[in-house]
Structure 1
Amino acid sequence: MSFNIRHCEGPGGVLDVARIARVIRGSDAEIIGLQEVDRHFGDRSDWVDQVAELRRLVDFDACYGVNQDLGPPAPGRPRAQYGTAILSRHPIRRWRNTHLFKSPQGEQRGLLHAEIDVGGTPLHIFTVHLEWFAQTDRPQQVKEVVELIGSTSPAILLGDFNAPPTAPEIDMIRASFTDCWSLLRDGAAPTYPADAPTTCIDYIFAGQGVAPERVGVVMDDPMSSDHLPVLARLVLAAPPRSILTNSEWCDQ
Protein backbone atom coordinates (compact mmCIF):
# COMPACT_ATOMS: atom_id res chain seq x y z
CA MET A 1 0.00 0.00 0.00
CA SER A 2 1.04 3.58 -0.68
CA PHE A 3 -0.71 6.14 1.51
CA ASN A 4 -0.13 9.88 1.89
CA ILE A 5 -1.63 10.35 5.35
CA ARG A 6 -1.33 14.19 5.55
CA HIS A 7 -0.08 13.96 9.14
CA CYS A 8 -3.28 11.99 9.93
CA GLU A 9 -5.59 14.90 9.15
CA GLY A 10 -8.60 14.30 6.92
CA PRO A 11 -10.28 16.79 4.55
CA GLY A 12 -12.62 17.79 7.36
CA GLY A 13 -9.70 19.02 9.45
CA VAL A 14 -10.01 16.22 12.03
CA LEU A 15 -6.71 14.82 13.34
CA ASP A 16 -7.03 11.07 14.00
CA VAL A 17 -4.06 8.68 14.02
CA ALA A 18 -6.30 5.75 15.00
CA ARG A 19 -8.43 6.35 11.90
CA ILE A 20 -5.39 5.94 9.65
CA ALA A 21 -4.47 2.77 11.54
CA ARG A 22 -7.96 1.35 10.96
CA VAL A 23 -7.68 1.96 7.20
CA ILE A 24 -4.32 0.17 7.13
CA ARG A 25 -5.55 -2.80 9.18
CA GLY A 26 -8.76 -3.07 7.17
CA SER A 27 -6.86 -3.21 3.88
CA ASP A 28 -4.92 -6.33 4.95
CA ALA A 29 -1.81 -4.77 3.41
CA GLU A 30 1.44 -6.43 4.51
CA ILE A 31 3.78 -3.54 3.61
CA ILE A 32 2.82 0.14 3.61
CA GLY A 33 4.74 3.18 2.39
CA LEU A 34 3.55 6.36 4.12
CA GLN A 35 4.11 9.98 3.15
CA GLU A 36 3.65 13.21 5.16
CA VAL A 37 4.35 11.60 8.52
CA ASP A 38 5.02 13.83 11.55
CA ARG A 39 7.22 13.06 14.52
CA HIS A 40 6.79 15.70 17.27
CA PHE A 41 6.45 18.16 14.39
CA GLY A 42 4.07 20.74 15.84
CA ASP A 43 0.58 21.75 16.88
CA ARG A 44 -0.91 20.50 13.62
CA SER A 45 -0.30 16.91 14.84
CA ASP A 46 -0.40 17.58 18.61
CA TRP A 47 3.39 17.02 18.80
CA VAL A 48 2.73 13.25 18.53
CA ASP A 49 5.33 10.74 17.30
CA GLN A 50 3.06 9.39 14.56
CA VAL A 51 5.53 6.67 13.57
CA ALA A 52 5.54 5.19 17.08
CA GLU A 53 1.79 5.55 17.43
CA LEU A 54 1.00 3.88 14.10
CA ARG A 55 3.52 1.15 14.84
CA ARG A 56 1.74 0.49 18.14
CA LEU A 57 -1.79 0.60 16.72
CA VAL A 58 -1.08 -1.57 13.67
CA ASP A 59 1.45 -3.80 15.50
CA PHE A 60 3.86 -3.77 12.53
CA ASP A 61 7.58 -3.16 12.27
CA ALA A 62 8.46 0.38 11.15
CA CYS A 63 11.24 2.68 9.96
CA TYR A 64 11.28 6.43 9.33
CA GLY A 65 12.98 8.70 6.82
CA VAL A 66 13.53 12.23 8.17
CA ASN A 67 13.39 14.90 5.45
CA GLN A 68 12.82 17.93 7.66
CA ASP A 69 14.62 18.01 10.99
CA LEU A 70 14.05 21.07 13.18
CA GLY A 71 15.42 21.89 16.60
CA PRO A 72 13.27 21.16 19.67
CA PRO A 73 10.70 23.84 20.57
CA ALA A 74 12.04 23.96 24.13
CA PRO A 75 14.92 22.47 26.13
CA GLY A 76 14.34 18.81 26.88
CA ARG A 77 11.77 18.41 24.10
CA PRO A 78 12.36 16.08 21.10
CA ARG A 79 13.33 17.39 17.68
CA ALA A 80 10.52 18.24 15.25
CA GLN A 81 10.66 15.91 12.23
CA TYR A 82 8.68 15.33 9.04
CA GLY A 83 9.13 12.69 6.38
CA THR A 84 8.15 9.25 5.14
CA ALA A 85 7.76 5.87 6.82
CA ILE A 86 7.45 2.18 6.03
CA LEU A 87 5.29 -0.22 8.05
CA SER A 88 5.72 -3.96 7.57
CA ARG A 89 4.08 -7.11 8.85
CA HIS A 90 7.41 -8.77 8.05
CA PRO A 91 10.66 -7.88 9.87
CA ILE A 92 12.54 -4.80 8.64
CA ARG A 93 16.18 -5.86 8.77
CA ARG A 94 17.81 -2.55 7.85
CA TRP A 95 17.02 0.76 6.20
CA ARG A 96 18.39 4.07 4.96
CA ASN A 97 17.02 7.44 3.85
CA THR A 98 18.72 9.41 1.06
CA HIS A 99 17.93 13.08 0.53
CA LEU A 100 17.13 14.02 -3.06
CA PHE A 101 17.87 17.11 -5.15
CA LYS A 102 16.34 20.33 -3.84
CA SER A 103 16.35 23.74 -5.50
CA PRO A 104 16.45 26.86 -3.27
CA GLN A 105 12.67 27.23 -3.51
CA GLY A 106 11.96 23.51 -3.05
CA GLU A 107 11.25 21.34 -0.02
CA GLN A 108 13.67 18.62 1.07
CA ARG A 109 12.52 15.21 -0.14
CA GLY A 110 14.03 11.77 0.35
CA LEU A 111 14.01 8.16 -0.80
CA LEU A 112 13.43 5.76 2.09
CA HIS A 113 14.77 2.25 1.41
CA ALA A 114 14.00 -0.71 3.67
CA GLU A 115 15.17 -4.30 3.33
CA ILE A 116 12.35 -6.55 4.53
CA ASP A 117 12.59 -10.25 5.30
CA VAL A 118 9.66 -11.92 3.53
CA GLY A 119 9.86 -15.60 4.41
CA GLY A 120 13.64 -15.58 4.11
CA THR A 121 13.76 -13.46 0.92
CA PRO A 122 15.12 -9.91 1.25
CA LEU A 123 12.56 -7.60 -0.40
CA HIS A 124 13.62 -4.01 -1.10
CA ILE A 125 10.91 -1.40 -0.52
CA PHE A 126 11.41 2.22 -1.59
CA THR A 127 8.99 5.01 -0.74
CA VAL A 128 9.17 8.62 -1.88
CA HIS A 129 7.24 11.88 -1.79
CA LEU A 130 8.33 14.06 -4.70
CA GLU A 131 8.28 17.85 -4.93
CA TRP A 132 4.97 19.66 -5.42
CA PHE A 133 5.67 23.41 -5.42
CA ALA A 134 8.99 23.50 -7.29
CA GLN A 135 7.83 21.28 -10.14
CA THR A 136 11.11 21.65 -12.03
CA ASP A 137 12.75 19.62 -9.22
CA ARG A 138 10.79 16.45 -9.96
CA PRO A 139 12.67 15.28 -13.09
CA GLN A 140 15.97 15.53 -11.23
CA GLN A 141 14.52 13.73 -8.22
CA VAL A 142 13.16 10.95 -10.44
CA LYS A 143 16.55 10.58 -12.13
CA GLU A 144 18.17 10.15 -8.71
CA VAL A 145 15.52 7.65 -7.57
CA VAL A 146 16.02 5.46 -10.64
CA GLU A 147 19.81 5.59 -10.22
CA LEU A 148 19.67 4.82 -6.49
CA ILE A 149 17.50 1.76 -7.02
CA GLY A 150 19.51 0.61 -10.01
CA SER A 151 19.48 -3.18 -10.42
CA THR A 152 18.38 -3.92 -6.86
CA SER A 153 15.92 -6.81 -6.80
CA PRO A 154 13.35 -7.80 -5.86
CA ALA A 155 12.24 -4.18 -5.51
CA ILE A 156 9.04 -2.15 -5.18
CA LEU A 157 8.84 1.65 -5.51
CA LEU A 158 5.78 3.43 -4.16
CA GLY A 159 4.71 6.86 -3.06
CA ASP A 160 3.18 10.23 -3.80
CA PHE A 161 4.87 11.41 -6.99
CA ASN A 162 2.86 14.65 -7.31
CA ALA A 163 2.58 14.07 -11.06
CA PRO A 164 -0.25 12.73 -13.23
CA PRO A 165 0.15 9.61 -15.41
CA THR A 166 0.87 11.72 -18.50
CA ALA A 167 3.79 13.61 -16.92
CA PRO A 168 7.26 13.06 -18.46
CA GLU A 169 8.74 12.16 -15.07
CA ILE A 170 6.28 9.27 -14.70
CA ASP A 171 7.35 8.03 -18.13
CA MET A 172 10.95 8.19 -16.86
CA ILE A 173 10.04 5.78 -14.07
CA ARG A 174 8.09 3.49 -16.40
CA ALA A 175 11.25 3.06 -18.46
CA SER A 176 12.72 1.06 -15.55
CA PHE A 177 9.68 -0.15 -13.60
CA THR A 178 6.25 -1.63 -14.26
CA ASP A 179 3.45 0.77 -13.37
CA CYS A 180 0.85 -1.29 -11.50
CA TRP A 181 -1.87 1.01 -12.86
CA SER A 182 -1.14 -0.51 -16.29
CA LEU A 183 -3.09 -3.58 -15.11
CA LEU A 184 -6.34 -1.58 -15.34
CA ARG A 185 -8.05 -1.34 -18.73
CA ASP A 186 -9.06 2.28 -18.11
CA GLY A 187 -5.70 3.34 -16.68
CA ALA A 188 -4.87 4.89 -13.33
CA ALA A 189 -7.64 5.53 -10.84
CA PRO A 190 -7.81 9.06 -9.37
CA THR A 191 -6.31 9.34 -5.89
CA TYR A 192 -6.50 13.07 -5.12
CA PRO A 193 -8.25 14.93 -3.57
CA ALA A 194 -9.81 12.13 -1.56
CA ASP A 195 -13.23 13.73 -1.07
CA ALA A 196 -13.67 14.22 -4.86
CA PRO A 197 -10.72 12.64 -6.66
CA THR A 198 -9.91 13.96 -10.11
CA THR A 199 -6.29 12.94 -10.74
CA CYS A 200 -3.82 10.19 -9.94
CA ILE A 201 -0.57 11.23 -8.25
CA ASP A 202 -0.02 8.10 -6.10
CA TYR A 203 1.62 4.98 -7.57
CA ILE A 204 3.07 1.55 -6.93
CA PHE A 205 5.81 0.44 -9.33
CA ALA A 206 7.15 -3.11 -9.61
CA GLY A 207 10.90 -3.33 -10.08
CA GLN A 208 13.06 -6.27 -11.04
CA GLY A 209 12.03 -9.57 -9.52
CA VAL A 210 8.42 -8.54 -8.77
CA ALA A 211 5.27 -9.20 -10.81
CA PRO A 212 2.09 -7.13 -10.19
CA GLU A 213 -1.25 -8.96 -10.18
CA ARG A 214 -3.89 -6.48 -8.92
CA VAL A 215 -4.18 -2.78 -8.11
CA GLY A 216 -6.85 -0.35 -6.96
CA VAL A 217 -7.73 2.40 -4.50
CA VAL A 218 -8.99 1.80 -0.98
CA MET A 219 -12.38 3.44 -0.47
CA ASP A 220 -13.18 2.24 3.06
CA ASP A 221 -12.73 5.70 4.62
CA PRO A 222 -11.96 8.39 2.01
CA MET A 223 -12.10 11.13 4.65
CA SER A 224 -9.16 9.76 6.67
CA SER A 225 -6.68 11.79 4.57
CA ASP A 226 -6.66 14.04 1.50
CA HIS A 227 -5.28 11.14 -0.60
CA LEU A 228 -6.83 7.76 -1.31
CA PRO A 229 -4.52 4.84 -0.53
CA VAL A 230 -3.31 2.67 -3.42
CA LEU A 231 -3.27 -1.08 -2.79
CA ALA A 232 -1.58 -3.65 -5.02
CA ARG A 233 -0.85 -7.36 -4.92
CA LEU A 234 2.64 -8.27 -6.11
CA VAL A 235 4.44 -11.60 -6.34
CA LEU A 236 8.15 -12.15 -5.74
CA ALA A 237 9.79 -13.82 -8.70
CA ALA A 238 13.59 -13.43 -8.56
CA PRO A 239 16.61 -13.92 -6.28
CA PRO A 240 17.71 -10.91 -4.19
CA ARG A 241 20.45 -8.41 -4.94
CA SER A 242 21.59 -5.43 -2.89
CA ILE A 243 23.15 -2.09 -3.87
CA LEU A 244 24.33 -1.05 -0.41
CA THR A 245 27.30 -2.09 1.67
CA ASN A 246 26.77 -2.88 5.35
CA SER A 247 28.25 0.46 6.41
CA GLU A 248 25.57 2.39 4.48
CA TRP A 249 22.59 0.85 6.26
CA CYS A 250 20.81 1.78 9.47
CA ASP A 251 20.10 -1.24 11.67
CA GLN A 252 16.73 -1.59 13.36
Structure 2
Amino acid sequence: MTERAPLPVRLVTFNVHHGVGDDGRHDLPRLARLLADVDADLICLQEVDRRFGPRSEGVDQAELLSRALEMDLAWGPAIDAPGPAGSEDGGDRRQYGNALLSRLPLLATEVHPLPGGGEPRSALRVQVGLTDGALWVTTTHLSSGSAADRARQAAAVTELQIAAPGVLVGDLNADAGAPELAALRERLSDAWQQAAARSDQGGRLSLHREAGLTHPARRPRVRIDQVWVTGGVSVADARVLDGAGTSDHHPLLVDLLVTPER
Protein backbone atom coordinates (compact mmCIF):
# COMPACT_ATOMS: atom_id res chain seq x y z
CA MET A 1 0.00 0.00 0.00
CA THR A 2 1.44 3.36 -1.05
CA GLU A 3 1.93 5.79 1.85
CA ARG A 4 0.05 9.04 1.47
CA ALA A 5 2.09 12.21 1.00
CA PRO A 6 1.27 14.98 3.53
CA LEU A 7 -0.80 17.85 2.16
CA PRO A 8 0.25 21.47 2.86
CA VAL A 9 -2.34 23.69 4.55
CA ARG A 10 -1.65 27.29 5.58
CA LEU A 11 -3.77 28.45 8.51
CA VAL A 12 -4.01 31.79 10.32
CA THR A 13 -5.73 32.44 13.65
CA PHE A 14 -6.42 36.04 14.64
CA ASN A 15 -8.44 37.83 17.31
CA VAL A 16 -9.45 40.84 15.21
CA HIS A 17 -10.92 42.98 18.05
CA HIS A 18 -14.00 43.70 15.86
CA GLY A 19 -11.77 45.38 13.29
CA VAL A 20 -10.48 48.13 15.60
CA GLY A 21 -6.73 48.72 15.54
CA ASP A 22 -4.42 50.25 18.11
CA ASP A 23 -5.28 53.67 16.70
CA GLY A 24 -8.89 53.21 17.86
CA ARG A 25 -10.31 53.18 14.31
CA HIS A 26 -12.68 50.61 12.89
CA ASP A 27 -11.16 49.88 9.48
CA LEU A 28 -12.34 46.67 7.82
CA PRO A 29 -10.56 47.28 4.46
CA ARG A 30 -7.29 47.57 6.38
CA LEU A 31 -7.98 44.22 8.05
CA ALA A 32 -8.93 42.62 4.74
CA ARG A 33 -5.65 43.74 3.14
CA LEU A 34 -3.62 42.18 5.93
CA LEU A 35 -5.54 38.90 5.65
CA ALA A 36 -5.19 38.85 1.85
CA ASP A 37 -1.43 39.27 2.14
CA VAL A 38 -0.98 36.13 4.27
CA ASP A 39 -2.29 33.96 1.40
CA ALA A 40 -3.84 31.36 3.74
CA ASP A 41 -6.06 28.39 2.96
CA LEU A 42 -7.91 28.78 6.28
CA ILE A 43 -8.41 31.97 8.28
CA CYS A 44 -9.84 31.54 11.79
CA LEU A 45 -11.10 34.75 13.40
CA GLN A 46 -12.32 35.65 16.86
CA GLU A 47 -14.20 38.77 18.07
CA VAL A 48 -16.06 39.23 14.81
CA ASP A 49 -19.21 41.41 14.67
CA ARG A 50 -22.28 40.88 12.50
CA ARG A 51 -24.50 43.98 12.65
CA PHE A 52 -23.51 44.26 16.31
CA GLY A 53 -23.59 48.01 16.79
CA PRO A 54 -21.82 51.36 16.46
CA ARG A 55 -18.37 50.06 17.47
CA SER A 56 -18.19 48.30 14.08
CA GLU A 57 -20.56 50.66 12.23
CA GLY A 58 -23.33 48.05 12.25
CA VAL A 59 -21.82 46.10 9.35
CA ASP A 60 -21.72 42.36 8.79
CA GLN A 61 -17.97 41.91 9.17
CA ALA A 62 -18.01 38.17 8.50
CA GLU A 63 -19.84 38.52 5.18
CA LEU A 64 -17.80 41.53 4.03
CA LEU A 65 -14.48 39.79 4.74
CA SER A 66 -15.70 36.64 3.02
CA ARG A 67 -16.55 38.63 -0.11
CA ALA A 68 -13.38 40.73 -0.05
CA LEU A 69 -11.14 37.66 0.21
CA GLU A 70 -13.31 35.47 -2.06
CA MET A 71 -13.37 32.73 0.58
CA ASP A 72 -16.23 30.60 1.87
CA LEU A 73 -17.62 31.49 5.31
CA ALA A 74 -18.49 29.37 8.32
CA TRP A 75 -19.98 31.29 11.25
CA GLY A 76 -20.28 30.50 14.96
CA PRO A 77 -21.97 33.13 17.13
CA ALA A 78 -21.23 33.35 20.83
CA ILE A 79 -23.67 36.25 21.33
CA ASP A 80 -26.93 36.17 19.35
CA ALA A 81 -29.43 38.92 20.19
CA PRO A 82 -32.50 40.45 18.50
CA GLY A 83 -32.03 43.37 16.13
CA PRO A 84 -33.30 46.90 16.75
CA ALA A 85 -36.81 47.17 18.16
CA GLY A 86 -39.42 48.44 15.71
CA SER A 87 -37.83 46.93 12.62
CA GLU A 88 -39.63 44.23 10.69
CA ASP A 89 -39.38 40.89 12.55
CA GLY A 90 -36.94 42.55 14.96
CA GLY A 91 -34.44 43.28 12.19
CA ASP A 92 -31.27 41.37 11.43
CA ARG A 93 -29.88 39.77 14.56
CA ARG A 94 -26.95 41.29 16.42
CA GLN A 95 -24.21 38.68 16.59
CA TYR A 96 -20.62 38.38 17.80
CA GLY A 97 -18.34 35.37 17.71
CA ASN A 98 -16.00 33.19 15.67
CA ALA A 99 -15.63 32.94 11.90
CA LEU A 100 -13.73 30.63 9.57
CA LEU A 101 -12.86 31.71 6.02
CA SER A 102 -11.81 28.92 3.70
CA ARG A 103 -10.43 28.26 0.24
CA LEU A 104 -11.07 24.57 0.91
CA PRO A 105 -14.54 23.01 0.53
CA LEU A 106 -16.71 23.26 3.66
CA LEU A 107 -18.10 19.79 4.36
CA ALA A 108 -19.71 20.26 7.79
CA THR A 109 -20.25 23.08 10.29
CA GLU A 110 -21.19 22.86 13.97
CA VAL A 111 -21.56 25.53 16.67
CA HIS A 112 -21.13 24.43 20.29
CA PRO A 113 -21.92 26.69 23.27
CA LEU A 114 -19.27 26.38 25.97
CA PRO A 115 -19.79 26.17 29.74
CA GLY A 116 -19.03 29.04 32.09
CA GLY A 117 -20.36 32.34 33.35
CA GLY A 118 -19.91 35.92 32.15
CA GLU A 119 -19.67 36.62 28.44
CA PRO A 120 -21.05 33.68 26.42
CA ARG A 121 -18.42 31.59 24.67
CA SER A 122 -18.71 29.10 21.82
CA ALA A 123 -16.64 26.84 19.58
CA LEU A 124 -17.02 26.69 15.80
CA ARG A 125 -16.17 23.20 14.48
CA VAL A 126 -15.76 22.82 10.73
CA GLN A 127 -14.74 19.94 8.50
CA VAL A 128 -12.92 21.02 5.33
CA GLY A 129 -12.16 18.88 2.31
CA LEU A 130 -8.65 17.95 1.25
CA THR A 131 -7.48 15.92 -1.71
CA ASP A 132 -8.75 12.43 -0.87
CA GLY A 133 -9.46 13.33 2.76
CA ALA A 134 -10.66 15.91 5.26
CA LEU A 135 -9.44 18.08 8.16
CA TRP A 136 -11.38 19.09 11.28
CA VAL A 137 -10.80 22.68 12.46
CA THR A 138 -12.17 24.08 15.73
CA THR A 139 -12.03 27.85 16.35
CA THR A 140 -12.76 29.25 19.80
CA HIS A 141 -12.28 32.10 22.28
CA LEU A 142 -12.10 31.09 25.93
CA SER A 143 -13.11 33.11 29.00
CA SER A 144 -10.94 36.08 29.92
CA GLY A 145 -12.19 36.34 33.49
CA SER A 146 -12.10 32.92 35.13
CA ALA A 147 -9.43 30.22 35.11
CA ALA A 148 -12.03 27.72 36.34
CA ASP A 149 -14.28 28.54 33.37
CA ARG A 150 -11.32 28.27 31.00
CA ALA A 151 -10.54 24.81 32.38
CA ARG A 152 -14.11 23.63 31.73
CA GLN A 153 -14.10 25.20 28.29
CA ALA A 154 -10.70 23.70 27.41
CA ALA A 155 -11.97 20.26 28.37
CA ALA A 156 -15.08 20.76 26.22
CA VAL A 157 -13.19 21.88 23.10
CA THR A 158 -10.63 19.10 23.52
CA GLU A 159 -13.45 16.56 23.39
CA LEU A 160 -14.70 18.21 20.19
CA GLN A 161 -11.29 18.10 18.54
CA ILE A 162 -10.14 14.52 19.19
CA ALA A 163 -11.00 13.50 15.61
CA ALA A 164 -7.80 13.20 13.58
CA PRO A 165 -6.45 14.84 11.62
CA GLY A 166 -7.59 18.01 13.34
CA VAL A 167 -6.57 21.47 14.49
CA LEU A 168 -7.81 23.52 17.47
CA VAL A 169 -7.10 27.26 17.31
CA GLY A 170 -8.06 30.52 18.93
CA ASP A 171 -7.60 33.06 21.67
CA LEU A 172 -7.37 30.87 24.76
CA ASN A 173 -6.70 33.73 27.21
CA ALA A 174 -4.02 31.64 28.94
CA ASP A 175 -0.46 30.60 28.22
CA ALA A 176 -0.07 27.16 26.65
CA GLY A 177 1.47 25.91 29.91
CA ALA A 178 -1.26 27.26 32.19
CA PRO A 179 -2.91 24.72 34.55
CA GLU A 180 -6.36 25.35 33.07
CA LEU A 181 -5.21 24.14 29.64
CA ALA A 182 -4.12 20.73 30.96
CA ALA A 183 -6.83 18.96 28.93
CA LEU A 184 -5.31 20.25 25.70
CA ARG A 185 -1.79 19.19 26.64
CA GLU A 186 -2.98 15.68 27.48
CA ARG A 187 -4.45 14.97 24.05
CA LEU A 188 -3.07 17.53 21.58
CA SER A 189 0.30 19.04 20.63
CA ASP A 190 1.23 22.72 20.79
CA ALA A 191 2.00 23.78 17.21
CA TRP A 192 4.39 26.54 18.31
CA GLN A 193 6.56 24.03 20.12
CA GLN A 194 6.24 21.46 17.32
CA ALA A 195 7.19 23.86 14.52
CA ALA A 196 10.38 23.14 12.61
CA ALA A 197 10.88 26.92 12.21
CA ARG A 198 9.53 29.84 14.29
CA SER A 199 9.57 33.63 14.13
CA ASP A 200 7.67 36.47 15.79
CA GLN A 201 7.65 40.19 16.50
CA GLY A 202 10.45 40.01 19.09
CA GLY A 203 13.47 41.94 17.84
CA ARG A 204 16.83 40.36 17.12
CA LEU A 205 18.13 41.34 20.56
CA SER A 206 14.86 40.87 22.45
CA LEU A 207 14.68 38.49 25.40
CA HIS A 208 11.26 37.49 24.01
CA ARG A 209 12.50 36.53 20.56
CA GLU A 210 10.82 33.35 19.26
CA ALA A 211 8.57 33.22 22.34
CA GLY A 212 5.42 33.48 20.21
CA LEU A 213 3.92 36.39 22.16
CA THR A 214 0.75 37.78 20.55
CA HIS A 215 -0.91 40.21 23.00
CA PRO A 216 -1.14 43.14 23.50
CA ALA A 217 -0.11 44.08 19.98
CA ARG A 218 1.75 47.25 20.92
CA ARG A 219 4.07 45.42 23.34
CA PRO A 220 3.30 41.67 23.47
CA ARG A 221 3.65 40.01 26.87
CA VAL A 222 1.62 36.78 26.59
CA ARG A 223 1.15 33.86 24.19
CA ILE A 224 -2.61 33.44 24.33
CA ASP A 225 -3.31 32.96 20.60
CA GLN A 226 -2.49 29.34 19.88
CA VAL A 227 -2.77 26.38 17.50
CA TRP A 228 -3.01 22.79 18.76
CA VAL A 229 -2.83 19.74 16.49
CA THR A 230 -3.78 16.07 16.59
CA GLY A 231 -1.87 13.14 15.17
CA GLY A 232 -1.61 13.24 11.41
CA VAL A 233 -0.70 16.95 11.47
CA SER A 234 2.88 18.22 11.58
CA VAL A 235 4.03 21.84 11.68
CA ALA A 236 6.59 23.09 9.19
CA ASP A 237 6.54 26.75 10.23
CA ALA A 238 4.92 29.02 12.84
CA ARG A 239 5.02 32.81 12.62
CA VAL A 240 3.54 35.64 14.66
CA LEU A 241 2.73 38.32 12.08
CA ASP A 242 2.44 42.05 12.68
CA GLY A 243 -1.20 42.94 13.30
CA ALA A 244 -0.67 46.04 15.40
CA GLY A 245 -2.42 48.32 12.92
CA THR A 246 -5.56 46.19 12.72
CA SER A 247 -6.23 44.73 16.19
CA ASP A 248 -4.99 44.56 19.78
CA HIS A 249 -3.57 41.08 18.97
CA HIS A 250 -1.06 39.79 16.45
CA PRO A 251 -2.12 36.99 14.09
CA LEU A 252 -0.47 33.56 14.27
CA LEU A 253 0.30 31.76 10.98
CA VAL A 254 1.15 28.06 10.76
CA ASP A 255 2.15 26.01 7.75
CA LEU A 256 0.80 22.53 8.37
CA LEU A 257 1.43 19.18 6.72
CA VAL A 258 -1.70 17.05 6.98
CA THR A 259 -1.84 13.32 6.35
CA PRO A 260 -5.53 12.40 5.84
CA GLU A 261 -6.71 9.12 7.36
CA ARG A 262 -7.86 6.43 5.00
TM norm structure 2: 0.86
Distance 1:42 1:120 in 2: 42
Q: Which protein shows a greater Rg? A: 2
Confirm or deny that 1:231 pairs with 2:253: yes
**Alignment match of 1:170 (pick from 146, 165, 181):** 181
Q: Alpha-carbon deviations, 1:79-98, whole Å to 9, x = none?
A: 10011000111121220110
Aligned-partner residue type, residue 181 of structure 1: W
Instruction: Give the SS at the match of 2:64.
Output: helix
Using structure 1 for the length normalisation, give the TM-score: 0.89
Alignment of 1:1-252 (within 5 A): 1-74=12-85, 75-76=87-88, 77-103=91-117, 106-150=118-162, 152-182=163-193, 183=195, 184=198, 188-219=211-242, 221-239=243-261
* Kept after mapping to 1: 8 A contact 2:135/2:260: no
CA contact (8 A) 1:41 1:80 kept: yes
Measure, in 1, the Cα distance between the counterparts of 2:260 and 2:131: 14
Q: Is the 8 A contact 2:47 2:97 kept in 1?
A: yes
1:190-240 Cα deviation digits (max 9, x unpaired): 100111111110001111221111101012x42110000000011112416
* Structure 2 unaligned blocks of 5 or more: 1-11, 200-208
Partners in 2 of 1:214 and 1:66 — Cα distance? 30
| In 1: Cα distance, 2:92 partner to 2:234 partner | 41
Report the CA distance between 1:188 and its aligned residue.
3.6
Structure 1 runs of 4+ with >4 Å offset: 184-187
Residue by residue over 1:68-108, the C-alpha shift from the partner in whole angstroms, topping out at 9 and shown as x without a partner, is 111111313201001100011112122011001022xx211
Question: Structure 2: how far apart are the matches of 1:84 and 1:141?
Answer: 15
Query: RMSD over aligned Cα, in angstroms?
Result: 1.6
Q: What's the % identity of the aligned pairs?
A: 36
Give the whole-Å Cα distance in 1 for the aligned partners of 2:228 and 2:97: 20
**Which amino acid in the other structure matches residue 224 of structure 2?**
I
Partner residue, 1:243: none
Q: What is the Cα deviation at residue 187 of structure 1?
A: 5.9
